[in-house]
Amino acid sequence: MDQRRPAAETAGSAEDRFDDDDYPAYSMGAAAEMLGVTPTFLRALGEARLIEPRRSGGGHRRYSRYQLRLAARARELVDQGTPVEAACRIIILEDQLAEALRVNAEYERQRAAGD
């Protein structure tokens, strides 16, 4: 799902990269610990195509802050009893709706500026 977001730039300082929501800064273990989930849960989100972590040079999964927010939302839904696959679909639809609303608002701003 998040493959539509632009890839994080590798140029710039480490501080710049850690401020970038798309920079894959977190290992699977760190991400799982931060979210209070298991690595298996994160793998399930990948299998459901909600998040697709980048791989380090050694092949280890690396997660961005954006991906961690999606995973946290998935955990919230799963904790409420929603199956993982359904939770992922809900989040994908929420993300698509938010993007459509953003595009609509931009269109309206441009239209109003042209009047």
Write the burial class of residue 73 (CB in 10 Å: 0-12 exposed, 13-18 middle, 19+ buried): middle
**What's the one-letter identity of residue 14?**
A
CB-based contact 74:45 (threshold 8 Å): yes
Condensed to tens digits (0 to 9), the pLDDT of residues 25-77 reads: 899 999 999 999 999 999 999 999 999 999 988 999 999 999 999 999 999 99
- How confident is residue 6, by pLDDT bands cut at 50, 70 and 90? very low
> Tens of pLDDT along 76-114?
999 999 999 999 999 999 999 999 999 999 999 999 998
Domains and CATH numbers, the chain: 13-114 (1.10.1660.10)
**Does residue 24 have a pLDDT over 90?**
no
Q: Specify which residues 55 forms β-bridges with.
A: 61
Inter-residue contact 28 to 61 (CB < 8 Å): yes
Determine contact, residues 55/61, Cβ cutoff 8 Å: yes
Tokens of 7: 């890839």
Whole-model pTM? 0.75
